[in-house]
Structure 1
């Protein structure tokens, strides 16, 4: 009867007895001081002892310990990053395995129905005249040295300041207009047209930053002999940054080729998955956009668009920019922050694209503030400047100027103002942050889907 009463009462061994049991179960090599501590089982036994001590420190009701689930502990306790990766590495593998199995199903179904594993028509149209597109990229890069030449001529007194200033502005516009004019005069499809327009816009931002920084430092008293550095300018053209720095950039010591090859393999895999999403889910809807109801189009396309958007972000900011940074030994690789936790839209703008954000703040926003405009007006002008460039890329790619993207991006200003007011009222409570983050994600997924609906019906 005493044994059964002890069981029902939940009598457990005392702390000292239980700890002694854990210690006594360890082999002698792990507990003695004079024996080798590098025994392969010593770490395992040490973890057993730590787990015993951890359980003893937990509050206890009868014979049960008060313990949270694994996910709750990871969410509420400060878990080191290495331990977090170690505990969640299996879930990461499961996600990639599910992706692989799902897209394998698409390939098998196409083969069973007598089709090719992938739709090659869209691929062939996307890479048409690839050598000519690469040549255009090279010409855009080579023409960037014109600006260095103009400033060098000004330094040598062959050009006056006013004439050099006029030539710089004129060549800067031509750097953006001529590639776009070439696209509009040709019959290239959307993908190569978008690539050339994006490349031209990128170098337009780089050269604008170079001119602005050189002029600013020149008026501060720095001579052009110090500002014009051929090696630094050449490095700036290939480095994954949009802001020119006179003093240079942080550099790594060498190129990690294994790391770069890993990025290259990841990029190929991401491109393949994005291509399957585009050909299997998006293109059929684009071709029948006029015959499908708008609500059905949006509801059907919003999930593939969201996945495509996230994969595109990973491809650009995690793979491509890191790949270029590795090849150029570029040290500052903070290309994005935790934008997925954003609760306001200005937080998203600060975190999701750091190179463009740094350019807009240091070149456009700061110039507006120096001109005497208020913070709100300077922010509005900065968003308008970014919206015009984004709209230009889409207008050139689709050969239609509709201002849809620009209008959608200009709604960011009232959204920033409204969400900041709500943020001050709610004082960053957890419930408010969750609701705001959910609203943010709906805006992120719904906006590109609506743009695809509009452009697919007009293209």
Structure 2
């Protein structure tokens, strides 16, 4: 008779000693949980209880969501390899078709038309006037030589001129280039947000402390420290790191230099030819070709956008923060996991989100505005600055960026109400990948048509 009786009653076995506690078999009868505990300690898979000789148990297919399986590392590796091969083919096709178009020297012409005239640099230098105006206004408010009403008027006038002055200069000076204009307006926009926060924070401190604010006055050096640190929100004392990490600083600097060259090369080699080939379908209103051009532009545009994100929000901001020993390094959060449009806009650019929350969204709520209207107002403000940074340098007003930002409001509502989980995340990714090429092509088409008409 065999050791195991297939009859009705249990069969008693003799105990057998094993050489190792992780051996393949032990004759000692143990419960299923104890067996699984031993197998877990040995790095083995748990055994499901089944009758001896049976090969089937109640279980789900591995790719079913009910199976609880989550290790898709091999599939992720496959996706990365396929993505790499696909982009390698596109790069090779581009080089065979157009040759090598990368020219670092040509980049200088994007900033300067005349090597003896630097209007964008002069415009940036003049911005110091607005910084000093805000500083001296706050000093007068701190010692009580001017009233709060007068201070508010002076700050409002300073901030209004700060936005109008560069716009008027860019639109009137023909020697300033679109790229130089964009950089200058970007600096003025950041300065506007910083000085607005500077005004609000000092006013809140005076209201809370009810003090004549020799305690609140700040030196020129502290004011300029706030101007240069990578944040838009002012406070009386910033968190500081204990030391400058030289290796970290060098790594970020090398990343900045390498990624900047990569961005310029990809734009020259990949984006410019694709856009040039897209003008004819747009002029002829060939819808199928327009869609094909847009999809062809989506891949390099999105790739460049991702590189720019890493270059700006990780490499550049961390470099400046480390150099100035600025302690708060939360420049972005996990926006790539966004399941709603609102979550994406709240987490991909944390400095702007913090500013909007602190100086715009919450003040609106305190004034009695409901949350939906306050969120819509935030998108309106963002739409204004997006259009401001695009239309003024191009010297044409088409409002594509403005409308693109406003469309985020209904898109956010649809995604949050009808999609969730992976479907919501996919919707966010699609809006990022497809939305940007559409806006780029619309502006380039209008710029091309406008300049061709003016030249003819």
**What TM-score does the superposition give when structure 1 sets the normalisation length?**
0.75
1:408 alignment counterpart? 404
Task: Measure, in 1, the Cα distance between the counterparts of 2:106 and 2:138.
Answer: 44
Q: Deviations over 1:256-285 (max 9, x none)?
A: 122111111112222222222211222123
1:327 alignment counterpart? 323
1:76 alignment counterpart? 70
Task: Measure, in 1, the Cα distance between the counterparts of 2:103 and 2:93.
Answer: 11
Question: Is contact 1:175-1:200 (8 Å) kept?
Answer: yes
Question: Is contact 1:289-1:456 (8 Å) kept?
Answer: no
In the TM superposition, residue 54 of structure 1 has moved relative to its aligned partner by 0.6
RMSD: 4.0
Matched, 1:437 2:425: yes
Question: Is contact 2:240-2:325 (8 Å) kept?
Answer: yes
Task: Measure, in 2, the Cα distance between the counterparts of 1:348 and 1:121.
Answer: 37
1:30 alignment counterpart? none
Q: Deviations over 1:110-164 (max 9, x none)?
A: 9xx8x66623464132242596544533432453121011121233444343333
In the TM superposition, residue 305 of structure 1 has moved relative to its aligned partner by 1.2
1:164 alignment counterpart? 151
Matched, 1:287 2:276: yes
Question: Is contact 1:297-1:453 (8 Å) kept?
Answer: no
2:108 alignment counterpart? 124
**What TM-score does the superposition give when structure 2 sets the normalisation length?**
0.76
1:147 alignment counterpart? 134
Question: Is contact 1:107-1:118 (8 Å) kept?
Answer: no
Task: Measure, in 2, the Cα distance between the counterparts of 1:410 and 1:420.
Answer: 16
In the TM superposition, residue 341 of structure 1 has moved relative to its aligned partner by 1.0
Matched, 1:258 2:247: yes
Task: Measure, in 1, the Cα distance between the counterparts of 2:83 and 2:341.
Answer: 30
Query: What is the total number of aligned residue pairs between the two structures?
Result: 401
Residues 393 and 56 from structure 1, CA distance in 2 versus in 1: closer, same or farther, beyond 3 angstroms? closer
Question: Is contact 2:244-2:323 (8 Å) kept?
Answer: yes
In the TM superposition, residue 197 of structure 1 has moved relative to its aligned partner by 0.8
Matched, 1:243 2:239: no
Residues 206 and 291 from structure 1, CA distance in 2 versus in 1: closer, same or farther, beyond 3 angstroms? same
Question: Is contact 2:142-2:216 (8 Å) kept?
Answer: no
Of 308-317 and 53-62, more deviation after overlay is shown by: 53-62
Question: Is contact 1:391-1:405 (8 Å) kept?
Answer: yes
DSSP-derived class of the 1:144 partner: helix
Task: Measure, in 2, the Cα distance between the counterparts of 1:58 and 1:142.
Answer: 75
Task: Measure, in 1, the Cα distance between the counterparts of 2:86 and 2:119.
Answer: 35
Matched, 1:215 2:203: yes
Residues 116 and 349 from structure 1, CA distance in 2 versus in 1: closer, same or farther, beyond 3 angstroms? closer
In the TM superposition, residue 296 of structure 1 has moved relative to its aligned partner by 2.4
Choose which of 211, 217, 225 in structure 1 pairs with 2:214: 225
Task: Measure, in 1, the Cα distance between the counterparts of 2:389 and 2:401.
Answer: 10
DSSP-derived class of the 2:44 partner: helix
Task: Measure, in 2, the Cα distance between the counterparts of 1:98 and 1:372.
Answer: 55
Residues 308 and 376 from structure 1, CA distance in 2 versus in 1: closer, same or farther, beyond 3 angstroms? same
Matched, 1:183 2:183: no
Question: Is contact 2:101-2:269 (8 Å) kept?
Answer: no
DSSP-derived class of the 1:226 partner: coil
Matched, 1:345 2:333: no
Choose which of 177, 182, 185 in structure 2 pairs with 1:194: 182
Residues 142 and 436 from structure 1, CA distance in 2 versus in 1: closer, same or farther, beyond 3 angstroms? same
Q: Unpaired segments of 5 or more residues in structure 2?
A: 1-15, 25-37, 282-288, 448-456
Matched, 1:450 2:432: no
Question: Is contact 2:22-2:42 (8 Å) kept?
Answer: no
Task: Measure, in 2, the Cα distance between the counterparts of 1:157 and 1:300.
Answer: 61
Matched, 1:393 2:389: yes
Q: Deviations over 1:360-414 (max 9, x none)?
A: 0100111211222111111111111111111111111211111111111112222
Task: Measure, in 1, the Cα distance between the counterparts of 2:89 and 2:252.
Answer: 23
Q: Unpaired segments of 5 or more residues in structure 1?
A: 1-13, 23-48, 78-83, 424-431
1:53 alignment counterpart? 42
Of 198-207 and 91-100, more deviation after overlay is shown by: 91-100
Question: Is contact 1:193-1:397 (8 Å) kept?
Answer: yes
In the TM superposition, residue 75 of structure 1 has moved relative to its aligned partner by 7.9
Question: Is contact 2:416-2:424 (8 Å) kept?
Answer: no
Residues 273 and 98 from structure 1, CA distance in 2 versus in 1: closer, same or farther, beyond 3 angstroms? farther
2:450 alignment counterpart? none
